[in-house]
Amino acid sequence: MKEIAEELTGFFTQNNIPVFGIAKAASLENEPSGYRPSDMFDSTKSILCLGIPVPKGIFKCQEKSGWMYWRAASIYYRNIDAVLMQACSIIEEKGEVAVPVYGCFPYDIKGKGDFWGYLSLVRLGEAAGIGKVGKNGLLFHSQYGPRLLLGGIVTTASLPEMAWPEKDEEGCPVDCFVCQEQCPVKAIDKKGKVNRVACIKYSMRSPIFSNLMKAGNFRSEDVQMINHVTAVDDHSMYQCIQCVSVCPYL
């Protein structure tokens, strides 16, 4: 399986993916049932996570930063998803099976607006050694801070554990709380636990989703489907990226 890892390294390098890592699937077995690597295949062996940094200027720009982030995220999610699917094919050519964990959509919507990815990419990134869960709930990387957009793979291939570039990731500095202090709706507590519903309610705007939320009477499965087919990428807007923009370690 060393050859697959080498081939993937070459493929990611060619596709301008600066950060990626591989870990044993068992390292995420404590995730909630239905959201563990072993829920995807009976014989899951490895997980992989990759990250692309959003340019720093998008967060630092004093005007219309939110709109620029919206465009960057829309493009990067598509790029990440395409790269993940090609990487899955590389793995499957060796007789294994592999499934992408997409950069953003699709996801499950629970209750009144709690969004759950099919696997937590932040935890995947931490397990793969490419960062630590930061105090704003995002992956914190020693070079890029919290501005990596992530994607992942779950596979039956038993791949060697590795992180590229090899770094000792230590996470957020212990004495920094800037993102928590500056969240406009105080959605991040001092331990770094993010109130996702409060955050999403404030930070995400999609016309159809907002109207459904206002109407109040809906099933989360319906919202999930409508959100996926009408509100992805170019139709949703991020109203807030404050917990990344204010980070002194971008």
Contacts to ligand SF4 by CB under 6 A: 134-136, 140, 145-146, 172-173, 176-179, 183-185, 187-188, 194, 199, 202-203, 240-243, 247, 249
**What's the rounded Cα separation, in Å, for the pair 137 and 244?**
10
C-beta of 185 vs 229, nearer to ligand SF4: 185
Q: Where are the beta strands (DSSP E) in 76-197?
A: 98-101, 107-110, 114-117, 132-133, 139-140, 148-155, 162-164
Give least dist CB 238 to ligand SF4, A: 8
Give least dist CB 184 to ligand SF4, A: 6
Helix 2-14 crosses helix 65-92 at what angle (to 10 degrees)? 150
C-beta of 155 vs 203, nearer to ligand SF4: 203
C-beta of 51 vs 134, nearer to ligand SF4: 134
User: In a 10 Å sphere around its CB, with 0-12 CB exposed, 13-18 middle and 19+ buried, how is residue 221 labelled?
Assistant: exposed
Give least dist CB 153 to ligand SF4, A: 26
Beta bridge partners of 110: 114
C-beta of 37 vs 134, nearer to ligand SF4: 134
Backbone phi, psi, residue 150, to 5°: -115, 155
For the record, the structure tokens of 114 come out as: 């709690």
**What's the rounded Cα separation, in Å, for the pair 136 and 115?**
16
Give least dist CB 235 to ligand SF4, A: 19
Residue 1, helix vs strand vs coil = coil
C-beta of 88 vs 183, nearer to ligand SF4: 183
Q: Where are the beta strands (DSSP E) in 134-198?
A: 139-140, 148-155, 162-164
Give least dist CB 133 to ligand SF4, A: 10
